[in-house]
Structure 1
Amino acid sequence: MHYSGMTLYHNHKISSPNHMQHHPTDHKIGRLIPWQGKDYRYFSGTAYLGMGSVPPFEQEILQGIQQYGPNHGASRFSNVQLEVYEDLEQQFASGARAPYAALLSSGFMAGYLTQTLLCEMAHTVWAAPDAHPAILPANYQPDPDQSFHEFANECIQKSHQVKGQTIAILSNAVDTILPAIHDFNWVKDLSPANTYYLLVDDSHAFGLLGKGIYGTYHQWKNLPAHLIVAGSLGKALAIPAGIILGDAYFIEKVKSSATFRGASPPAPGYCQAFLQAEKLYEQQQTLLQENMEYFFKRIDNTSDQLRYDPRFPVVTFKNSGWAPKLLEAGMMISSFSYPRPEDAPVDRIILSAYHTKEDLAHLASAIVSG
């Protein structure tokens, strides 16, 4: 099975000397990574809110495990049911301004189940060029050279060439490689002669964009399409689980599917911790926002070298070669080939709430001095 888009991750082993080295570690990853006797400032990963560095959050997880045990390996529909799952679904749906939610064991599972059901319902599937493999049908290959703007225009044009079709549109909320936050207002320009389902993968939006920590559902719910938002809670929110948000009809299809009924739910202790952690998330959001403003201000005159959106904590270098240079200066950034294995690596900075002003000043200075 071949996927295009964001499919090449840090553990993709490539022998070329131009690629980022691997740094195996046997402990929690935070703002500092010890390697070969030296501490490196870490600017990679997806822990945008730095929740693993928040002791009260860890305590909530430990208390949740003490309350519910290490795991719950039974179906959600077994005769003994834990209330925490439905509590999380109700809280998340309410916070996102969505009618209903379905909780799953991972973001990939949430995306996969959603796109599988949509493919059964739709005559046609249109996937954005950066759509994550979790929301792509098997053997579907978006054009990685197409821009999101070109994709949107193509959807509008194709929609006016058909009538009476059910069409599924699949996209990430964010292109984390460019980076770019996607706008879906163009859905208003689709032909009204068809029925549309819009699936947005909010894995990199939960905790960062939209309504509080709850993502972009409320932002797009009034578009002329049946909106479904799916994604991982394991990035900014640090909960190993996935969620699907949608209307009663679709969430009922999810919960009555053999996949949902047969799969084990997430570990309940983490779900309990999530329910207790809203203020901690908000605190970390404030810290991240301050860090972003501080850092972006210091790299303001480097537009010839960098791409970024001030609303999102990822910065991409326009040219490769920065990873080894910054490693020499004591900093690890994200670096991997994209979109093909033979391409030059894409070097990126990921900012987190756990970074100190000193970390950010050190990084900015290294970039500005070249």
Structure 2
Amino acid sequence: MQNAWSSYLAERAAIQRHSGRWRRRRTRCAGDGRRDFAGNDYLGLARDPRLAEAQAQGARRFGAGGRASHLVSGHLAVHEALEQQLAALTGRPAALLFSTGYMANLGTLQALCDPDTRVFQDRLNHASLIDGARLAGARSRRFHHGDLGDLERLLARAPGDGRTLVVSDGVFSMDGDVADIAGLAATSARHGAWLMVDDAHGLGVLGEAGDGCVGRVHGIERVPVLVGTLGKALGSAGAFVAGSKSLIEHLIQFARPYVYTTAQPPGVAAATLKALALLEAEPDRRTRLATLIARFRREARTLGLPLAASSTPIQPLVLGDSQRVMHWAAWLAERGITVGAIREPTVPRGQARLRITLSAAHTDADLDALLDALADCRAREALASGEASP
């Protein structure tokens, strides 16, 4: 049996390497993150010393860990305060903390769905949403990305009995485009379906108050199930689901990833509360981020770079070929710049890309360095292919 397992691991590793999909972790040091264009720290809060101090104070007051699940003895006053603040931010009656965004999506779909539930998902939804419906055993269909007409056709063909759930990312993590929330809500309502939106990459960035692409504008009647994460624009860790009190009570009773998990460390909850206070007190962070996005897109177009249509901090350069993406990422790394090198199966075949993400913490000099390095990538590629003049 041991030989069978060893052979299996070696075979899968060989296939992954041969296909060019082998993944490697980067070990980063404390001071080398400023020219990181691969992370999701959109507002520059992850390294803000005020969050670190709030986290330390929370740990000193409540302890380093939650010690138990929320339903046993791990639900502390700091967790309760954070849930109330998240509900207020999103304009919902209640919110529920989860340890990760993946767990929030798995838990919500597992608690809401069963084999009698029909689920309709955008084709480019995050893996956690796809996995959640699959693990729940729901009858799941995927509509063409952003295509309300295709969703309408699928819903119209579905039997009218039973529960129906439409699920979409708010901001799509690999493309950076924003879902048509109003259109999804109207289409869902026409067919008696609930709408669930994972606004992981919109929360803190979009909306008048950083309440995301859903938030207060698209209230609970339009989007009954709203998921958000805390480890991106808010700079801490964890996630939440916001909705009606009956939805949250249902999740408390039936969401297994919530029921059977130790509560979030209280220091992390305290840091998130500080992040929410800064989100309200320092709107210039979002203004600064918008300025950087506009400048990057303007100058990248001047360089002739293959920009995707995104107005969010996620700015993909679709290079197509996985090997080409890895060459560009390596050349950028030589210049001290980190970007995401995204290949299949994360994106479809032929859609490999550099996933560049911008942060309010980036300086103009950082952006200059990125643009110069991207121009150098183009020049090196042209020279290698013989396109440059002698």
TM-score range, shorter chain: 0.7 to 0.9
Matches within 5 A, 1:28-39: 28=30, 31-32=33-34
Give distance in 1, aligned partners of 2:206 and 2:42: 12
C-alpha distance in 2, partners of 1:24/1:196?
A: 42
What's the secondary structure of 1:25's corresponding residue?
A: coil
**Match for residue 205 of structure 1?**
202
Q: Which moved more, 1:161-170 or 1:236-245?
A: 161-170
Cα shift at 1:173: 0.7
Structure 1 residues 1-370: aligned runs within 5 Å:
14-15=16-17, 22=24, 24-25=26-27, 27-28=29-30, 31-32=33-34, 41-78=35-72, 81-120=75-114, 123-136=117-130, 137-138=133-134, 147-150=144-147, 152-161=148-157, 162-187=159-184, 189-190=186-187, 194-215=191-212, 216-221=214-219, 225=222, 227-257=224-254, 259=256, 260-281=258-279, 282=282, 284-302=285-303, 305-310=306-311, 312-320=312-320, 321=324, 322-339=328-345, 343=349, 345-368=352-375, 370=378
- The question of whether the paired residues in 2 share the 8 Å contact of 1:53 and 1:354 is answered with no
User: Is the contact between residue 30 and residue 53 of structure 1 (CA under 8 Å) also seen in structure 2?
Assistant: no
**1:16 to partner: Cα distance:** 5.6
Deviations along 1:200-230, one digit per CA (max 9) or x if unpaired, are 111112221235233223232266x552011
**1:226 & 1:298 partners in 2: Cα distance?**
37
Displacement of 1:90 in angstroms is: 0.8
1:251-270 Cα distance to aligned partner (Å, 9 max, x none): 11011226233322211111
Ranked by relative contact order (alpha carbons within 8 Å, sequence separation 6 or more), the top structure is 1
- The Cα shift of 1:122 comes to 5.8
| Secondary structure of 1:78's aligned partner | helix
- Describe the SS at the equivalent of 2:248: helix
Distance 1:242 1:189, change over 3 A: closer
Match of 1:10 in 2: none
Which structure: greater helix fraction? 2
Q: Is the 8 A contact 1:173 1:204 kept in 2?
A: yes
Q: Shift in Å at residue 96 of structure 1?
A: 0.9
- How far apart, CA to CA, are the structure 1 residues paired with 2:77 and 2:168? 32
Measure the CA separation in 2 of the matches of 1:17 and 1:202: 32
Paired residues of 2:66 and 2:263 also in contact (CA < 8 A)? yes
1:295 alignment partner AA: F
Q: Residue 15 of structure 1: SS of its match in structure 2?
A: helix
CA displacement at 1:337 relative to structure 2: 1.0
Closer, same or farther: CA 175–30 of 1 in aligned 2, 3 Å:
farther
Q: CA, structure 1 residues 114+303, in 2 after alignment: closer, same or farther (shift >3 Å)?
A: farther
Give TM-score scaled by structure 1 length: 0.82
Query: 3-state DSSP class of the match of 2:216?
Result: helix
Please give the secondary structure, in 2, of the residue aligned with 1:195: coil
Structure with higher Rg: it is 2
Q: Residue 205 of structure 2 aligns to which amino acid in structure 1? A: L
Any idea what SS the aligned residue of 1:138 has?
helix
Q: Which amino acid aligns with 1:246?
A: G
- The one-letter code sitting in structure 2 at the alignment partner of 1:273 is A
Note the C-alpha offset of 1:14. 5.0
What do you get for the CA RMSD once the two structures are aligned?
3.0
Code of the residue aligned with 2:264 in structure 1: it is P
Q: CA 1:127–1:234 in structure 2 vs 1: closer, same or farther (change >3 Å)? A: same
Change (3 A) 1:222 1:258: closer
Give ranges in structure 2 of 5+ residues lacking alignment: 1-14, 379-390
Can you give the 5+ residue segments of structure 1 that lack an aligned partner in the other structure? 1-12, 33-40
Amino acid paired to 2:112: L
Distance 1:188 1:106, change over 3 A: closer
Q: Which amino acid aligns with 2:180?
A: D
SS in 2 for 1:205: coil
Q: For the Cα contact (< 8 Å) 1:74–1:265, is it kept in 2?
A: yes
Query: Kindly, what percent of the aligned residue pairs are identical?
Result: 25
Contact 2:126 2:169 in 1 (8 A): yes
Change (3 A) 1:351 1:258: closer
Give the whole-Å Cα distance in 2 for the aligned partners of 1:164 and 1:72.
Answer: 42
Given that residues 314 and 351 in structure 1 are in contact (C-alpha distance below 8 angstroms), is that contact kept between their aligned partners in structure 2? yes
Q: Which residue of 1 aligns with 2:11?
A: none
Q: Is the 8 A contact 2:185 2:195 kept in 1?
A: no
Alpha carbons 1:92, 1:214 under 8 Å: kept? no
Return the offset for 1:114. 0.7
Q: Which amino acid aligns with 2:151?
A: C
For 1:8, the equivalent position in structure 2 comes to: none
